Structure 1
Amino acid sequence: MNILLALFVIVSISVPALSENEIKLDEGVLVLNRDNFKSAITDNEFILVEFYAPWCGHCKALAPEYVKAVTLLEENKSDIKLAKVDATEETELAEEHQIRGYPTLKFFIKGTAIDYNGGRKAEEIVSWLIKKTGPPAKELNTVEEAQDLIDNNNVVIIGFFKDPSSETAKAFLSVATTVDDHLFGITNSDALFEKYQAKDDSIILFKHYDGGKSVFEGEPTHQAIRKFVAVESLPLVVDFNTNTAQKIFGGDVKNHLLLFLSRSDEHFAKISDAASSVARPFRETVLFVTLNVDEEDHQRILEFFGLKKEDAPAARIIKLEEDMVKYKPESDDLTAENIQQFVQNFLDGKLKPILLQQELPEDWNSQPVKVLVASNFDEVALDPSKDVLVEFYAPWCGHCKQLVPIYDKVGEHFKDNEDVVIAKMDATANELEHTKVTGFPTIKLYPKGDLRKAVTYNGPRTFEGIVKFIETGGVDGADPDVATEAETEDDDKPRKDEL
């Protein structure tokens, strides 16, 4: 199962190129429309534009950070502007710029747009913009400059190089060029070396948590330095939210310990602290993440793991490979010792993956469309004497809901045919070792006589198309496959950044 993946913009109060009569300001953010949009992106060298919808929850969460970013840019005496467009009102602008979701941010450089792919916190927005409009690392000559940079940003990476042309310095600057999430500084000042107790050719990551700083100690290559920044810039235990999702699931560490906790319960701080106390030795191999089960947006994630809100506190480990394999601890008592043992057992290969499984309904066989769960799937779908069509669906999937009357009609059509079985399975609640589903709905035909081969239907989701697919033994409208799944552009696919 995959789980679905989106992002932001900037502007200051003084607008030398535009008068307030032409463009209104909302807390320092330029308000653009069809009449003033073109002049705004051409009269300003750098302008970040947010296309938003007033009803969008993510847009509402971004709004105060966006305004704060304006202030930070002003403090930096930056000419970068920050603007917004109500895409539900300015539909022509939204269509022109191919806006397909909210918020979508685009950065215009002398009128030419590039996609914004930074974070949603004010500091992250400013950092991204500064990196796109200036040198990869800010030259720091005084302690005051360095301390100001450190104090005003959650994460800053500073390279200390007596010789800025050294191999380590070159690798450091190459990382600074490619990492947009954080600000980088570089110095050869003796005063800064002394202030921060830095050695020559050293790299220090300063942060406002987990001890305040981390010193790079690996081989000074681009890859090693980049991984150091990615790992050490995150807290030992990361809280999952819209601001951290991309960093969590887009990072280099693909093994995640997920702690499902209720922030309103006293166990939240206790278990978070326990996890923090044992996380450091694992931080390059397993990312520790807390997830607040009280958040409505997180309910889909709970379903993916077969959990309910009342199951908290709970822990799972997920391995972010194609199959997204999941593991559970032996004990639900999430002490520091048990958490440490759970993670170590996972790394040592001592744990078996968990597969979700529903109870088999008593009436599973009573309708033309049979109901499958993990326990009866092989018996029914792999019956060598029948052609068995299975729809793998998700209860929340819009395309699956649209397919219901068509699929029921197919079931009715074949109900008296003893050689054909029409079935369906909730793939969010049942998992199979031999079949992995990455999009919904996925329709597979298991032909009679060949237990290993499944044929995935890629034709039109119509009664006629599906019936022809079955009657031709999966030849018409199909993709033969053994272990691959169909993916079409309009499939409902859960994405990793929603986990």
Structure 2
Amino acid sequence: MFILDAPWCGHCKALAPEFAKAANTLAEKESGIKLAKVDATEETELAEEHQVRGYPTLKFFRNASPVEYNGGRQADDIVAWLLKKTGPPAKELKTVEEAKEFIDANNVAVVGFFKDQTTDAAKAFLGAAASIDDHPFGITSDDKIFKEYDVQCGTIVLFKKFDEGKVVFEGDATEKNIKKFVAGNSLPLIVEFNHETAQKIFGGDIKSHLLLFLNKGEDHFEKVTEAARSVAKPFKEQVLFVTIDASEEDHQRILEFFGMKKDEVPAARLIKLEEDMAKYKPESNELTSDSIKQFVEDFLAGKLKQHLLTQDLPEDWDKEPVKVLVASNFDKIAFDSEKDVLVEFYAPWCGHCKQLAPIYDKVGEHFKDDKNIVIAKIDATANELEHTKVTSFPTLKLYPKGDNNVIEYNGPRTFEGLTKFVESGGVDGAGIDEPVEEETEDDDTPRKDEL
């Protein structure tokens, strides 16, 4: 396995000691797996051959075939992932000593106690073990091991070096349920967000997260953390509880993503990571065990309305030929059934948006005296609309008069192309006339996958 990195990359520097530690661990285990690193800024042909688009990139080669690494960024995660890829899904534990050594050697270890590995439950356990790369699985049929851990045949136990120490699986032993059990119990009840845990938090199976924005070192940090810990357990397979140190400079863009200011901390938000991110804000700023519990319960019951970002409406929003829209006035202007309305959804950091700006201003000037046409723009990073999700910038949409059946512009970003699009009622330019470059939220600073 090798890592392609860049000397200037902060994430690479953070990973380097963990990668070295993983290499030492594998050597101590007398494993045949070798770890290596490549400076992708020097070995550019190699980086291009393996389609490296970001740093660090980790690839595992087995029989000369590359496999994309998708595990965690800590040494234990790297070792567990590699051992799972090169060995059986669950290690056979034959003696009490082997079982103890296996459990003691891992931060999280999952053990199945099965006399007969051909049963449906054992097959489900092995199926879950094969599909989970982050944590080691063991399996045993030895009576002495059963006695040592005081379990019955068919028991599945997750051992961990934090919180309550171990958790016994309950319920119908299907592969899906076992995977859910591991996902819900393999992280601490309260997870601190940092470079090491980010991948586990946002790449895990639990997609609903309670984010607690706190200032580490201040009096409220321990108080709110303990309040959350006291109520987190019943929700652990449904909602991940995460603390974010809002005083860290690296975390400022997370606050920006939620439209928060430093003086709002301590604060809580809920986020649901699905195709479209949904964000929720509690009614009260009070963060007690009761208020946190109520917030999560209301979320799970579907009682909460999405919290959508909006800017204040400028007093001079309609002064210029290109009108300024925010979330609060968008529907009134864009869905005016008596006017054709062209809207640019832009991001302040987007280079393509900056290039389009003088052209778009010229389009606005061209139509400024036409009472049936409105040219407008909206900062889509600071204003969210429940009915419209935009992930690439700039995005241009025409809201024609009458039925307001929205038409997206896919033509060239020229004065001629845009004016023809508007004048034709969205006919000329709705199809793809030529390739158009776009910037997504992964192209620049605000990256949702690295919150």
Give the structure-2-normalised TM-score: 0.93
In the other structure, the counterpart of 2:410 is: 458
Q: Distance in 1 between matches of 2:10 and 2:27?
A: 27
Structure 2 equivalent of residue 105 of structure 1: 58
Match of 2:210, SS state, is strand
Supply the distance in 1 between the matched residues of 2:396 and 2:217 (Cα, whole angstroms). Answer: 42
1:212 aligns with 2:165: yes
Query: 2:134 maps to what in 1?
Result: 181
More deviation, 290-299/193-202: 290-299
Q: Is the 8 A contact 2:392 2:439 kept in 1?
A: no
Write the mapping of 1:346-385 to structure 2, written as runs, cut at 5 A. Answer: 346-385=299-338
Counterpart-to-counterpart distance in 2, 1:97 and 1:321: 29
Q: Distance in 1 between matches of 2:302 and 2:439?
A: 37
Aligned residue in 1 for 2:187: 234
Identity of aligned residues (%): 67
Structure 2 partner of 1:24:
none
Aligned counterparts of 1:490 and 1:393: Cα–Cα separation in 2: 10
Deviations 1:142-186 (A, max 9, x none): 222222222222111111112222221111111111111111111
Amino acid at match of 1:468: K
What is the identity, as a one-letter code, of the residue corresponding to 2:37?
K
Letter in 2 for 1:94: A
**Using the alignment, how far apart are the partners of 2:431 and 2:189 within structure 1?**
45
Distance in 2, matches of 1:449 and 1:173, equals 59
Displacement of 1:393: 1.8
Equivalent residue runs for 1:158-173 within 5 Å? 158-173=111-126
The alignment partner of 1:186 has SS state of strand
Counterpart CA distance in 2 for 1:369 and 1:77 is 67
Q: Within the alignment, does 1:94 sit opposite 2:43 as a pair?
A: no
1:492 aligns with 2:441: yes
- Provide the C-alpha distance between the structure 2 equivalents of 1:479 and 1:217, rounded to a whole number of angstroms: 55
Instruction: For 1:455 and 1:339, locate their aligned partners in 2 and report how far apart those are by CA, in whole Å.
Output: 42
Q: 2:110 aligns with which of 150, 154, 157?
A: 157
Aligned residues: 445
Counterpart-to-counterpart distance in 1, 2:302 and 2:43: 54
Comparing 202-211 with 137-146, greater Cα deviation is found at 137-146
1:336 offset after TM fit, Å?
Answer: 1.1
Equivalent position of 1:29 in the other structure: none
- 1:296 CA drift (Å): 3.2
Residues 1:285 and 2:238 aligned together? yes
Matched, 1:134 2:87: yes
Q: Does 1:196 align with 2:145?
A: no
- 8 Å CA contact retained: 2:392, 2:438: no
SS of the equivalent of 1:77 reads: coil
- 1:315-330 maps to which residues of 2 (within 5 A)? 315-330=268-283
The answer for unaligned runs of 5 or more in structure 2 is none
- Between 1 and 2, higher relative CO (CA 8 Å, sep ≥ 6) is seen in 1
- Is the CA contact (8 Å cut-off) linking 2:341 and 2:375 kept in structure 1? yes
Gap regions ≥5 residues in structure 1? 1-47, 481-486
Compute the displacement of 1:201 (Å).
1.1
SS at 1:478 equivalent: coil
CA–CA distance in structure 2, aligned partners of residues 362 and 223 of structure 1:
54
Q: Which residue does the alignment assign to 1:471? A: 423
Q: Distance in 2 between matches of 1:112 and 1:212?
A: 39
> Over the residues paired in the alignment, what is the CA RMSD in angstroms?
2.1
Task: Compute the displacement of 1:495 (Å).
Answer: 5.6
The answer to which of 120-129 and 441-450 deviates more is: 441-450
Q: CA deviation at 1:489?
A: 6.7
Answer whether contact 1:393 1:442 (CA < 8 A) is retained: yes
The DSSP-based 3-state class of the residue aligned with 1:81 is coil
CA distance in 1, matches of 2:13, 2:163: 30
CA distance in 1, matches of 2:90, 2:210: 33
The offset of 1:197, in angstroms, is 1.6
Check conservation: 1:372, 1:423, Cα contact below 8 A. Answer: yes
TM-score by length of 1: 0.84
